Amino acid sequence: MSNIPKVTVVIPVKNAESKIEECLQAVSDQTVAPYEIIVVDGHSTDNTVDKAKKFNVVILYEEYTTVGGARKKGVEHATGQYVAFTDSDCIPISDWLENLLNEFNEHIVGVGGATVNVGKGIWKESISLTLDSFLGSANSVQDRAFSTKKYVKSISGCNSMYRLTDLLNVGNFDAALRINEDTEINKRLLKYGKILYTPNAIVFHNQDRGLKDFAKRMYTFGKGRAQNKLLDLQVVPPVLALLSFVFLFVLKEAFFLMISLYLIILIIFDLLLFMNHKKLLYLLSVPLVFALEHVSYTLGFWNGMIKLVSGGVR
């Protein structure tokens, strides 16, 4: 057992008193015991810290008011050889750390696992189904649970592990980032090695968001991706939306064709999900969630691009 590398687990948290204990219990009960667990609190105004103190954890406070700042703070105080990250609304399975550790070699700079979105109620279920699809998350593993190992461009901040030395060598997390901080640091790490996704390291992510909060989150994701110049497959919907908008004024036939194609794609994905899950309400709820996601993300993306071009701050 002495040959097992030391792993620090960092958990950013703010006002999560209803979830932090279940998260910390799961992290504490790993088949590979964490060397240390660091909870980085953003000055919660509820009982989050008091509940976290029931466990054998280190409590730190961050002043950046960003999740990037919280992860940066955790890395600065980590003493393990590896640093794993999850969030307070996540429940890792018992061999989560073990399965992440097993994938490292000299060519690997980061390993991430499957994020399984969960939640009760028609809208939370529909959000989970939407995110766990190509139309909802493209080829990203950050909100999807793929069944096979593969090299990827990015892994999720709620289910990832890195060597401490690699994180420090690339300059640690960007404390200015309120979102997309994981995608941004993964982009820097890829210059020095590969990032691997493994389906065996599973974290259950309780979205616990209604439609309004979901829309806000998607807007923020889109805005952050534009401002941080993270231009990949996820920028296709905003670009197509802008093209459709232009066609509305210069070539209406093309506009109606693109809208028709979009609706057909929605229907196809909706029917596929319905066939897999056999819940009649999904025929109505899932297309609405898809549309809400795409509109919110698109508006956020172009707002971010405007701020980027005009030199606005993040």
Task: Give helix 282-309 / helix 122-131 axis angle, nearest 10°.
Answer: 60
Of 14, 176, 175, 31, which is closest to residue 95 (Cα–Cα)? Answer: 31
DSSP state of 136: H
- pLDDT averaged over the chain? 90
Task: Give helix 252-277 / helix 282-309 axis angle, nearest 10°.
Answer: 130
Give residue 1's pLDDT.
46
**Residue ranges of the chain that CATH labels 3.90.550.10:** 7-208
Coil, strand or helix at 220: helix
- For the stretch 59-76, pLDDT in tens is 999 999 999 999 999 999
Give residue 16's pLDDT.
93
CB atoms near residue 189 (< 10 Å) = 21
pLDDT band at 53 (very low <50, low <70, confident <90, very high): very high
- For the stretch 66-125, pLDDT in tens is 999 999 999 999 999 999 999 999 999 999 999 999 999 999 999 999 998 887 888 888
- For the stretch 219-230, pLDDT in tens is 988 888 887 777
Give residue 110's pLDDT.
97
DSSP state of 197: E
Structure tokens at 93: 């399975």
Class of the CATH domain delimited by 7-208: alpha beta
How far is the CA of 206 from the CAs of 32, 87, 117, 154, in angstroms? 24, 10, 6, 21
Reply yes or no on whether the pLDDT at 2 is more than 70: no
How far is the CA of 110 from the CAs of 132, 170, 187, in angstroms? 22, 13, 11
DSSP state of 158: T
Reply yes or no on whether the pLDDT at 269 is more than 90: no
Give residue 57's pLDDT.
97
Cβ(153)–Cβ(232) below 8 Å: yes
β-bridge mates for residue 113, sequence order: 198
Cβ(200)–Cβ(113) below 8 Å: yes
pLDDT band at 141 (very low <50, low <70, confident <90, very high): confident
DSSP state of 26: H
Taking the whole predicted model, whether its pTM rises above 0.95 is answered as no
Ranges of beta strands (E only) in the chain are 7-13, 36-41, 58-61, 82-85, 90-92, 108-118, 150-152, 160-163, 194-206
Structure tokens at 202: 């599973």
- Return d(Cα 15, Cα 249) in angstroms, integer: 47
In Å, how far from its chain's centre is CA 211? 18
- For the stretch 144-200, pLDDT in tens is 788 899 999 999 999 999 999 999 999 999 999 888 899 899 999 999 999 999 999
